[in-house]
Amino acid sequence: MADNKQTYDANKIQVLEGLEPVRKRPGMYIGSTDQRGLHHCVYEIVDNSIDEAMAGHCDHIIVMLHDDGSVSVEDNGRGIPVDIHPKTKKSALETVLTILHAGGKFGGDDSGYKVSGGLHGVGSSVVNALSSYMRAEVYRDGKVHMQEYVRGKPKADVKAIGKTEKQGTKIQFMLDSQIFDALEMSLSLLLAHFRQQAYLTRGITISVMDEREKRPEEDSSLPRLYRFHFDGGISAYVRHLNHDKQAIGDVIWLEKEEKEGFVEVAMQYSQAFQEQCISFANNIHTTEGGTHLTGFKAALTRTINAYARKEAILKEKEENLTADDVREGLSAIVSVRLKDPQFEGQTKSKLGNAEMKTAVETVVNEKLAEYMEEHPGDARDIVGKCLLAARARMAARAARDAVIRKGALEGMTLPGKLADCSSKDPSECELFIVEGDSAGGSAKQGRNREFQAILPLKGKILNVEQARLDKMLSNNEVKSLIIAMGMGIGEVKDKTKLRYHRIVIMTDADVDGAHIRTLLLTLFYRYFPELIEGGQLYIAQPPLYKISMGKDSRYAFTDKEKESTLKEWGIGQADLDAEGENEEPAESAESDVKEGKPAKGKKAKDGKEADKPKARKANIQRYKGLGEMNPDQLWETTMDPKGRIMLRVMLEDAEKADAIFTTLMGPDVPPRKKFIQTHAKGVKNLDI
Q: What is the pLDDT of residues 342-362, one digit of tens each?
A: 887 555 678 999 999 999 999
List the beta strands (DSSP E) in 383-542. 430-435, 452-457, 502-506, 537-540
CB 624 within 8 A of CB 544: no
Closest CA to 123 of 198, 32, 29: 29
Please give the torsion angle defined by the CA atoms of residues 509, 510, 512 and 516, in that order, rounded to the nearest 10 degrees: 30
- Per the CB < 8 A criterion, the answer to whether 492 and 668 are in contact is no
DSSP result, 461-486 = PP-GGG--HHHHHT-HHHHHHHHHH-
Catalytic residues: 435, 508, 510, 512
Q: How many CB atoms lie within 10 A of CB 107?
A: 14
Each as own residue / partner, the long-range contacts of residues 497-501 (CB below 8 Å, 24 or more positions apart, any chain) are: 498/426, 498/531, 498/536, 499/426, 499/429, 499/431, 500/426, 500/429, 500/430, 500/431, 500/453, 501/426, 501/427, 501/428, 501/429, 501/430, 501/536
At residue 574, the pLDDT reads 55
Backbone angles phi, psi at 527, to 5 degrees: -115, -20
Segments of the chain assigned to CATH 3.30.230.10: 234-394
Q: Which of 464, 437, 377 is nearest to 625 (CA)?
A: 437
What CA–CA distances, in Å, run from 424 to 72, 409, 488, 501, 535?
A: 52, 21, 18, 11, 21
CB 228 within 8 A of CB 198: yes
What CA–CA distance (Å, rounded) separates 655 from 280? 14
Are 19 and 152 spatial neighbours (Cβ–Cβ below 8 Å)? yes
Whether 644 and 541 have beta carbons less than 8 Å apart is answered as yes
Residue span(s) of the chain under CATH 3.30.565.10 come to 20-228
Pair 163, 170: CB distance under 8 Å? no
Question: At residue 586, what are phi and psi to the nearest 5 degrees?
Answer: -75, -25
What's the Rg (C-alpha) of the chain?
Answer: 30
φ, ψ for residue 164, nearest 5 deg: -160, 155
**Residue 433's pLDDT is what?**
94
Rounded distance between C-alpha atoms, residue 128 and residue 20, angstroms: 11
Which CATH fold topology does 234-394 show?
Ribosomal Protein S5; domain 2 (3.30.230)
Q: How far apart are alpha carbons 163 and 95 in whole angstroms?
A: 23
**Sheet with 452-457, edge to edge strand ranges:** 452-457, 430-435, 502-506, 537-540, 646-648
Residues of the chain with pLDDT under 50: 1-4, 8-9, 12-16, 105-111, 118-121, 408-412, 578-605, 607, 610, 685-688
Phi and psi dihedrals of 453, rounded to 5?
A: -110, 150
Instruction: Decide if 614 contacts 599 (C-beta within 8 A).
Output: yes
Instruction: Report the relative pairing of strands 225-228 and 205-210 from DSSP bridges.
Output: antiparallel
Specify the pairing of strand 261-270 against strand 330-337.
Answer: antiparallel
pLDDT of residue 107: 45
Axis-axis angle for helices 654-665, 511-527 (nearest 10): 130
Q: What is the pLDDT of residue 306?
A: 95
Fold of 20-228: Heat Shock Protein 90 (3.30.565)
Parallel/antiparallel/unpaired status of strands 205-210 and 60-65: parallel
**Amino acid identity at 144:** V
Of 248, 214, 567, the residue nearest 387 (C-alpha): 248
Q: Please tell me the predicted confidence (pLDDT) of residue 120.
A: 36
Over residues 529-563, the pLDDT tens digits come to 889 888 899 999 888 888 888 888 888 888 888 88
pLDDT at position 604? 47
Residue whose C-alpha is closest to residue 154's, from 133, 138, 173, 168: 133
Q: Which fold has domain 419-542+646-682?
A: Rossmann fold (3.40.50)
Residue 121 has a pLDDT of 38
Length of the chain: 688
How far apart are the C-alpha atoms of 130 and 283, rounded to whole Å?
24
Q: Tell me, what's the pLDDT at 6?
A: 55
Q: Quick one: which of 346, 420, 467, 378 has its CA closest to 41?
A: 346
- Which residue, among 442, 425, 426, has the nearest Cα to 434 in the 3D structure? 442
Q: What pLDDT, on a 0 to 100 scale, did the predictor assign at position 383?
A: 94
pLDDT at 417: 86
In angstroms, rounded to a whole number, what is the distance separating the alpha carbons of residues 430 and 454?
A: 9
| Residue 251: Cβ within 10 Å count | 21
CA distance 464 to 472: 6
494 Cβ contact list (under 8 Å, min separation 6): 487, 488
Output the CA torsion 333→337→341→342 (10° steps): -10
User: The pTM is what?
Assistant: 0.66
If you count DSSP H runs as helices and E runs as strands, how many of each does the chain have, helices first?
Answer: 21, 22
Every domain range in the chain assigned CATH 3.40.50.670: 419-542+646-682
Reported for 632-636, long-range contacts at CB under 8 A and 24+ positions apart, including other chains, are 632/446, 633/446, 633/546, 634/442, 634/443, 634/446, 634/542, 635/446, 635/447, 635/448
Give pLDDT, residue 21: 79
Q: What distance in Å separates the CA atoms of residue 36 and residue 309, rounded to the nearest whole number? A: 47
